[in-house]
Structure 1
Amino acid sequence: MTLQKKEKNELLEWLKAIVVTVVFVIGIRTFIFTPILVSGESMMPTYEDGDRVIVNIIGKQISGLERFDVIVFHTTEETNYIKRVIGLPGDHIAYKDDVLYINGTPYDEPYLDAYKAQLMGYGTLTQDFTLEDLANVSTIPEGYLFVLGDNRVNSTDSRDPRVGLIAIDTVIGKANIRFYPLDHIGIVK
């Protein structure tokens, strides 16, 4: 085999490896995981502005969406939001005296404890509301979710008529792995 033919074969092998790698990466980003940049303060203290998060796209198909999952969903063609699932289809949601009630049962929200402690007994983190007040329905319809940001004072979420109840088919996936900043890498709940 001549040197020129050997170099040509080696180049062809490298090209094949690069093409396979590119196809593999695109497949993973499209069907399994995709990175996003958190923009804004609506999910503080869980996620800070500038955090980089991996969205598990396939997780919603495998395990479904569950209450208190942090999800990313499309709001427009260019815009995605990151919020926490509070209400599932068939649920009635209400807030009274800073306590979440789902179908009349009070629920703890430990991810809000840091913010509630800062209030030191003055005021509430989440203003009182009922699903009827916000969406003019008594229960969340099939195919929809009720979502809230963890920073309840500064979040555009299902309480805002521009967002409202979100269609499940707009959900990209679950956001539970932070990979930047490096000192905060890990699984987030």
Structure 2
Amino acid sequence: MNKSKNELREWLETIAIAVVLAILIKAFLFDLIQVDGNSMMPTLANHERLIVYKAGYLIHKPKAGDIVVFRYPHEPKYNFIKRVIAVEGNTVEITDGRVFVDNVPLDEPYILEVTLGDFHKRIVPENTIFVLGDNRNNSKDSRFEDVGFVPVYHVKGRALLKIWPLSKIQ
């Protein structure tokens, strides 16, 4: 009888430790999110699932080119996923269908069409980032007043790995 009690106790302790570790990993290291919408096409498609690395931005700020998940500033219960185009101190401008950072046109092989509309030259404020969707003409991003320059503290993490569907793991 004692042996079965000890065995049960060991199992319960193991399960409790596993649950605590899973909670800590989700809270501080990684998260799983689903892409909702087509604003990041062709890079990310609707309903794909990603692993988001959360701990990296505890050490350093997002960099241009990172694909980040952040809380929508206007309604923080919603998450957005976009590409970082410019960081604090950079100037950013969109004119004649091209994006310029610090007066240099970006090479953007990940977009499929010319960016419509202009965005007058502005300096990215301290502790913020400027983000755009890869599907520029179907994306609510930093060009819109309710998103604007995204505070770094709203960034939840960097998209690390596409895991679903299995045929598109990368």
What TM-score, normalized by structure 1, do the two folds share? Answer: 0.85
Structure with higher helix content: 1
Amino acid at match of 1:54: I
Find out whether 1:71 has 2:55 as its counterpart: no
* Matched position secondary structure for 1:110: coil
Indicate which of 34, 37, 40 corresponds to 2:34: 37
Cα distance between partner residues in 1 of 2:115 and 2:76: 31
Percent of residue pairs identical = 40
Map of 1:23 onto structure 2: 20
User: How many residue pairs end up in the alignment?
Assistant: 168
1:158 counterpart = 2:142: yes
For residue 136 of structure 2, give the secondary structure of its aligned residue in structure 1. Answer: coil
- Aligned-residue RMSD, C-alpha: 1.2
Q: Distance in 2 between matches of 1:16 and 1:77?
A: 37
More strand by share: 2
The match for 1:55 is 52
- Determine which structure has more spread, i.e. the larger CA radius of gyration: 1
2:119 maps to which residue? 129
Distance 1:103 1:9 in 2: 66
Q: Which residue of 1 aligns with 2:101?
A: 102
Question: For the residues of structure 1 that align with 2:47 and 2:166, how far apart are their CA atoms?
Answer: 12
- Separation in structure 2 between the aligned mates of residue 41 and residue 52 of structure 1, nearest angstrom: 13
Q: Give the letter aligned to residue 143 of structure 2.
A: R
Q: What's the offset of the Cα at 1:60? A: 1.8
1:63 Cα deviation after fit: 4.7
Which of 140, 161, 167 is matched with 2:124 structurally? Answer: 140
Separation in 2, partners of 1:172, 1:111: 23
